[in-house]
Amino acid sequence: MASHSIGIEALMERAGWAVAQAVKTRFAPCRVLVLCGPGNNGGDGYVAARYLERAGWPVQVAALAAPRAGTIAAKAAARFHGRHVVFDQESAARADLVIDAVFGAGLDRAPSDEVMTVLASAKKRVAVDLPSFVNGRTGALLVEDSASRDVPDYLMSVTFVRPKPGHVLYPARSICGEVICADIGMPEDCVAHAAPDMWLNHPALWAIPAMSPDDHKYSRGVVSLCGGAVMPGATRLAAAGARASGAGLVRISAGKAAQAYRLGAPGLVVDDAPLPALLEDERREVWLCGPGLTPEEVEAALPSLLRAGRIVLADAGALGWADGVTEKLRGVSVITPHIGEFTKLFGAPGSDLAGAARAAAEKLDCVVLLKGAVSIIAAPDGRVMLNDHASPALATAGSGDTLAGVIATMLAAGMPAWEASCAGAWLHGEAGMKAGNWPVVEALDTHLGDARALAIALHAAAHGQV
Ligand SMILES: NC(=O)C1=CN([C@@H]2O[C@H](COP(=O)(O)OP(=O)(O)OC[C@H]3O[C@@H](n4cnc5c(N)ncnc54)[C@H](OP(=O)(O)O)[C@@H]3O)[C@@H](O)[C@H]2O)[C@@H](O)CC1
Ligand SMILES: Nc1ncnc2c1ncn2[C@@H]1O[C@H](COP(=O)(O)OP(=O)(O)O)[C@@H](O)[C@H]1O
Ligand SMILES: [K+]
């Protein structure tokens, strides 16, 4: 995988050096044990041990197995001239700090009990690349019976080039500790090859339209929502999210339930005309269907929206309506299920959430935003964005409705579906971070306008426009 211009040996040297640097920066000199596996992760460990020893730290190495003769890792091992000890619990328990270089990106099965017991015996742990039982591609813990076992956690994981999905996604995220990402000079083409089609959400990666001096409400975008009679609160929250994130005009199509929506926000337009009449207005291109709707209400609206060729975001009630017949959603642009809704539509996702979201997006030919503490936004063409720009403050009832409203506004502003969903997740997360402690869901709206302005500024800065 390493390029011709810079070989794996140089990359390993920089990787090991970066691990030693990170350890020296964050810890006072102490007795370090480096646990080395047989592959290149172990190779990084030998290099780190050499640099720490050179800096005067008391360092020992315990090898699970020697690297194969003739490999780069074997070369790195041969250059460490310090003390070797047995790979066992006692050695790990004696050290003040254990550097785990047993397995990294090459881990492909659960490590033995021996490895797990030795790791668990350490007082403090730092991982080289990844904890040695983390699947870097999925964030799954490759541990036999992880429920009954106390899974060791780490103070820090030093990775290279860019974080792996395993550093970002739960459950691994919660045990990696602080993630330090070292630039080891990996050439661009190798980076792309190593992690194709998956990114960490950031405004540099999409562009939300800025406010223009000659804007009018239609140029900023019209968001239409289907409103039901039973749970108007959810639709109103979504409408408020749409308005607060900058839609030019937000309308609720509520039919006979219109009265329930007329009390409250005066800037919201409430329509009681039948849907076919409303659909004659071509400017009403983007529709949010689902929050607060019963299956009967969805049935009365969503198929008509699709027949009329509208851009539809389906959430909540619309996902329940399609339970058992996922195909009913074919034609929508975006769906925003949480894990329960996702499971009903596509089956249990297993331990590879991002892979499951990607497969669902391909299957239904729409953007799938799988909501969670880290949300996954998958496009039908295979692109996946991981959004960890969020806060547990968002874990409050109705926050998903707000999110749906924000994404609808991004769609109405003319953004393509995947970019609109990525932007919506980021703005929603930013609002959650700014809304203080234990905010009520309505408090998110106050911060969405500033979140949008910040995203626009960050995008401009990243692209050298300021
Ligand atoms: N890519 C780059 O440019 C750079 C990569 N770098 C570093 O390389 C690391 C990846 O190295 P890698 O590919 O050698 O894999 P690694 O994680 O050492 O493990 C493979 C070995 O472990 C074994 N093994 C696996 N699972 C096992 C288990 N459960 N139980 C027992 N054995 C198991 C497997 O054995 P096998 O499956 O063949 O029996 C094989 O021997 C990466 O994380 C980073 O630290 C840096 O130097 C910077 C540049
Ligand atoms: N711990 C968390 N950290 C960050 N975001 C979270 C967390 N828990 C929930 N969220 C976000 O909050 C929203 C909850 O939406 P949803 O599950 O639909 O709830 P509701 O139906 O009550 O609106 C989602 O956007 C989700 O990503
Ligand atoms: K490791």
CB-based burial of residue 90 (10 Å sphere; 0-12 exposed, 13-18 middle, 19+ buried)? Answer: exposed
Q: Write the DSSP symbol of residue 193.
A: H
Q: Is 367 annotated as a binding residue?
A: no
H/E stretch holding 223 reads: strand 222-226
Rounded to 10 degrees, what is the CA torsion of 207, 136, 374, 314?
Answer: 70
Contact, 150 vs 124, CB < 8 A?
Answer: no
Report the chain's terminal Cα–Cα distance, integer Å: 36
Q: Which pLDDT does position 194 carry in this prediction?
A: 65
What backbone phi and psi angles, to 5 degrees, belong to 103? -135, 150
Nearest to 226 by CA among 283, 339, 281, 304: 304
CB-based burial of residue 397 (10 Å sphere; 0-12 exposed, 13-18 middle, 19+ buried)? Answer: exposed
- Strand pairing of 97-101 and 125-128? parallel
In the predicted model, what is the mean pLDDT of residues 446-453?
98
Is pLDDT of 193 > 70? no
Q: Is 371 annotated as a binding residue?
A: yes
Across the chain, mean pLDDT equals: 95
CA distance linking residue 168 with residue 182, whole number of Å: 16
CA atoms within 13 A on the CB side of 344: 14
Contact, 408 vs 456, CB < 8 A?
Answer: no
The closest residue, in CA terms, to atom 6 on ligand 2 is 373
CA distance linking residue 204 with residue 306, whole number of Å: 32
Structure tokens at 132: 């040695």
CA distance linking residue 197 with residue 400, whole number of Å: 26
Ligand 1 site, residue 109, Cβ cutoff 6 A: yes
Q: Which pLDDT does position 1 carry in this prediction?
A: 45
This prediction's pTM: 0.95
CB atoms within 10 A of CB 188: 9
The closest residue, in CA terms, to atom 9 on ligand 2 is 395
Lowest mean pLDDT among 53-57, 208-212, 242-246: 208-212
pLDDT in tens, 288-316: 999 999 999 999 999 999 999 999 999 99
In the predicted model, what is the mean pLDDT of residues 26-49?
98
Q: Is 234 annotated as a binding residue?
A: yes
The closest residue, in CA terms, to atom 16 on ligand 1 is 106
In the predicted model, what is the mean pLDDT of residues 228-246?
97
Nearest to 369 by CA among 320, 426, 301: 426
CA of 373 to the centre of ligand 2 (A): 7
Pocket test for ligand 2, best of 288, 335, 338, 406 (most atoms within 8 A of CB): 338
Task: Name the residue type at position 286.
Answer: V
pLDDT class for 348, splitting at 50, 70, 90? very high
Contact, 106 vs 79, CB < 8 A?
Answer: no
In the predicted model, what is the mean pLDDT of residues 45-50?
98
Residue in the block written with tokens 């408090």: 443
Q: Is 41 annotated as a binding residue?
A: yes
CA of 1 to the centre of ligand 1 (A): 13
Is pLDDT of 2 > 60? no
CA of 375 to the centre of ligand 1 (A): 28
Q: Is 44 annotated as a binding residue?
A: yes
The closest residue, in CA terms, to atom 7 on ligand 2 is 373
Is pLDDT of 388 > 50? yes
Nearest to 34 by CA among 49, 20, 19, 23: 49
The closest residue, in CA terms, to atom 40 on ligand 1 is 39
pLDDT in tens, 261-290: 998 788 999 999 999 999 999 999 999 999
Structure tokens at 450: 């500033």
**Ligand with the closest atom to the CA of 291:** 2
Rounded to 10 degrees, what is the CA torsion of 336, 340, 344, 347?
Answer: 100
CA of 326 to the centre of ligand 2 (A): 22
Ligand 2 site, residue 317, Cβ cutoff 6 A: no
CA atoms within 13 A on the CB side of 193: 8
Nearest to 1 by CA among 162, 191, 172, 171: 191
Is pLDDT of 171 > 50? yes
CA of 390 to the centre of ligand 3 (A): 27
Q: Which pLDDT does position 354 carry in this prediction?
A: 98
Ligand 1 site, residue 15, Cβ cutoff 6 A: yes
Q: Is 373 annotated as a binding residue?
A: yes
Max Cα-Cα span within the chain:
82
DSSP line for 113-163: HHHHHHHHH-SSEEEESS-TTB-TTT--B--TTTTTS-----SEEEEESS-
CB-based burial of residue 43 (10 Å sphere; 0-12 exposed, 13-18 middle, 19+ buried)? Answer: buried
Q: Is 132 annotated as a binding residue?
A: yes
Q: Is 24 annotated as a binding residue?
A: no
Ligand 2 site, residue 174, Cβ cutoff 6 A: no
What backbone phi and psi angles, to 5 degrees, belong to 274? -65, 150
Ligand 1 site, residue 66, Cβ cutoff 6 A: no
Three-class DSSP labels, 151-181: CCCCCEEEEECCCCHHHHCCCHHHCCCEEEE
Q: Which pLDDT does position 3 carry in this prediction?
A: 42
Contact, 347 vs 329, CB < 8 A?
Answer: no
Ligand 1 site, residue 2, Cβ cutoff 6 A: yes
Q: Is 292 annotated as a binding residue?
A: yes
Is pLDDT of 8 > 80? yes
CA of 372 to the centre of ligand 2 (A): 6
User: Ligand 2 atom closest to Cα of 237?
Assistant: 23
CA of 260 to the centre of ligand 3 (A): 57
**Ligand with the closest atom to the CA of 102:** 3
pLDDT in tens, 61-107: 999 999 999 999 999 999 999 999 999 999 999 999 999 999 999 99
Ligand 1 site, residue 435, Cβ cutoff 6 A: no
Structure tokens at 298: 């969805």
Ligand 1 site, residue 160, Cβ cutoff 6 A: yes
pLDDT in tens, 404-426: 999 999 999 999 999 999 999 99
Task: Name the residue type at position 130.
Answer: L
